[in-house]
Amino acid sequence: MSNKTGENKSQPGSGQKPNPAPSDVEGLDPASKALVDALRISFVMLKIIMFCMVGLFAWTCLYTVGPNEQAIELRFGRIKGYGALAVNGPGPHWKWPEPIEEAVMIPSKDSVRQLDVDSFWYTVDRKAEAMGRVTRVDPTLQFAKDGYSLTASQSAVEMNIANNTGTDPQGLGIAAQGVDYNIVHSQWRLRYRIVNPLRFFEQLWDGTEGVLVKGDGWYAVNDFLRKIVSDAVIVTSANHDIREILWDNVIGYQGEVKRLVEERLAALDVGLEIIGLDLMEKIPPRQVKRAFDAAQQARNAAKSQVIDAGAVASEIVDNAQADAARLNAEAKSYYTKVVESANADARYLSEVTGKIEDAANQRVSGDGPVALKERQQAYAELLAVTMDQLYQETLREVLANADENFVMPVSGSKPLEMRMYMSRDAMIPVRQRESAAKLKRQQLDEQERKAAGAMKNER
């Protein structure tokens, strides 16, 4: 009876667990008992595996995007969604497990990446440089190893400015027009960010960190950007003289390279934005660095002398302008004084002639022709006396202010012989001019006083 009951419990269609009762197990033979124990252990393991698979499924479906990241979900290798819906921001997200769906993490817009471009730098022993040892400089430029860019000569730059030709259609610049050019080493640092993750993933990045020997992943992105920067440096350097690159126009040269890089990336539309392109270091070839340093010292000395000369010239010009302003003011003052003196003399002479005319009228009265003639004769006599008096006064003033007086003897009708010794005293002409000016000022002052007195009497 018990055997039938145990058989019924172990039947698959009974809907009960195939675990025999302890009394039934004890009644089995050792082989059957071992089989029952194995089935029990297998069932427990199966449950554990199922729970693990459920946990693994949940773990592979749930992922978290970091604060400086953004995610693109791929379904069977293709981007899931369109536009902004295809990009997930920071936080937890759910997807189907691989290989159905995959999440690719891309740096966010706020994450700035950096790339050092040393394509134009010379070859160095990195190990020796890290240890602080200076390696021996090869006296000849290693064209197969050293990086460099070609620069136009100053004559070529001047020719380009004169002709206003710009760059040639091939973009090689004036350095390719058969003129001489120089060599310069430079190191650059590019800073950029990803503004369009979809275009960046579709055009440049395969979603992996990459392997250096394969050149994929981020290595491919860096190689792409390094080539863009290198092309811009080559074209820009070919249109600038080495003095502009090293000293005179570093900011303009750096800005032009950055502009070409931005234009190239905008034309390719790869979802990148340039934050900055810095010229970290620039030097002439090491083999001729001493000569360039000496040339720069000479240029600095020349600039210093030019600045000093400009300061002296400015001082001279300022002094000359000040002297010119002073002389102009003195000339205007002298002109005003002379005009006033002439006006005073004119008024004085007018008063004198008026008084002479009044005296002649008082001396001779009447209206007839005889009286008129006598008045004219009296006027002429009074005028001659007045002129002689003025002459005597002027002569006395001149003789009083003269340094030397010469009196010429009168010998009747015999010819008079005069002998003059010129420049006997170099200061005599100076003193004479000063005396004449002093006399003239005294006369003008006297005339002004007389005119003022006459005007006062009239009032």
Tokens of 49: 């595996």
What local confidence, expressed as pLDDT, does residue 416 receive?
65
pLDDT band at 235 (very low <50, low <70, confident <90, very high): very high
Residue 11 has pLDDT above 80, yes or no: no
Highest mean pLDDT among 78-87, 209-218, 254-263, 280-289: 254-263
What local confidence, expressed as pLDDT, does residue 60 receive?
72
Q: State pLDDT tens for residues 127-163.
A: 555 555 544 445 455 555 678 888 887 655 555 554 5
Residue in the structure block whose two tokens are 């030097």: 283
Burial 131-169 (b: 16+ CB within 10 A, else e): eeeeeeeeeeeeeeebbbbbbbbeebbeebeeeeeebee
CA 374/CA 380 separation, integer angstroms? 10
Q: What is the largest CA-CA distance in the chain?
A: 200
CA 205/CA 218 separation, integer angstroms? 7
Residue in the structure block whose two tokens are 């595996």: 49
What local confidence, expressed as pLDDT, does residue 261 receive?
96
Paired strand residues for 94 = 62
Window from 99-103, 104-108, 427-431 with minimum mean pLDDT: 427-431
Q: Which domains does the chain have, with CATH numbers?
A: 2-106 (no CATH), 113-284 (3.30.479.30), 327-404+422-458 (no CATH)
Tell me which DSSP letter residue 117 carries.
E
CA 389/CA 386 separation, integer angstroms? 5
Whole-angstrom CA distances from 192 to 70, 114, 196, 239, 271 are: 16, 7, 12, 26, 10
- Full DSSP string of 237-265: HTTSBHHIIIIISHHHHHHHHHHHHHHHH
Q: What is the mean pLDDT of residues 74-85?
A: 81
Give me the phi and psi of 190, to 5 degrees please.
-100, 130
Contact 241, 181 (CB under 8 A): no
β-pair type (91-94, 101-107): unpaired
Tell me the three-class secondary structure of 35-77, residue by residue.
HHHHHHHHHHHHHHHHHHHHHHHHHHHEEEECCCEEEEEEECC
CA 49/CA 458 separation, integer angstroms? 140
Distance of CA 202 to the CA centre of its chain: 39
What local confidence, expressed as pLDDT, does residue 428 receive?
65
What local confidence, expressed as pLDDT, does residue 421 receive?
58
Burial 311-339 (b: 16+ CB within 10 A, else e): eeeeeeeeeeeeeeeeeeeeeeeeeeeee
Cβ-based burial of 37 (10 A; exposed 0-12, middle 13-18, buried ≥19) = exposed
Window from 14-23, 62-71, 309-318, 429-438 with minimum mean pLDDT: 14-23
Amino acid at site 176: A
Q: State pLDDT tens for residues 209-227.
A: 989 888 899 999 999 999 9
Residue 377 has pLDDT above 70, yes or no: yes
Residue in the structure block whose two tokens are 């769906």: 101
User: Which bin fits 406, alpha (ψ -120 to 50), beta or left (φ > 0)?
Assistant: beta
Contact 21, 3 (CB under 8 A): no
Give the up-direction half-sphere exposure of residue 439: CA atoms within 13 A in the CB hemisphere: 17
Cβ-based burial of 212 (10 A; exposed 0-12, middle 13-18, buried ≥19) = exposed
Distance of CA 417 to the CA centre of its chain: 82
| Angle CA 39–41–45, to nearest 5 | 115
Contact 199, 270 (CB under 8 A): yes
Helix 369-401 with 427-458: angle, nearest 10 deg = 140
CA 299/CA 296 separation, integer angstroms? 5
CA 37/CA 34 separation, integer angstroms? 5
CA 354/CA 412 separation, integer angstroms? 40
Q: State pLDDT tens for residues 35-74.
A: 777 888 888 888 888 888 777 776 777 788 888 899 988 8
CA 258/CA 367 separation, integer angstroms? 108
Tell me which DSSP letter residue 415 carries.
P
Q: What is the mean pLDDT of residues 327-333?
A: 91
What local confidence, expressed as pLDDT, does residue 123 receive?
76
What local confidence, expressed as pLDDT, does residue 158 receive?
55
Q: State pLDDT tens for residues 152-191.
A: 876 555 555 545 544 444 444 444 444 457 889 999 999 9
What local confidence, expressed as pLDDT, does residue 439 receive?
80
Find the radius of gyration of the CA atoms of the chain: 57
Q: State pLDDT tens for residues 268-306.
A: 999 999 999 999 999 888 777 787 788 778 888 888 899
β-pair type (272-283, 181-194): antiparallel
pLDDT band at 13 (very low <50, low <70, confident <90, very high): very low
* Signed CA dihedral, 184, 187, 190, 191: sign only: negative
What local confidence, expressed as pLDDT, does residue 170 receive?
43
Contact 67, 31 (CB under 8 A): no
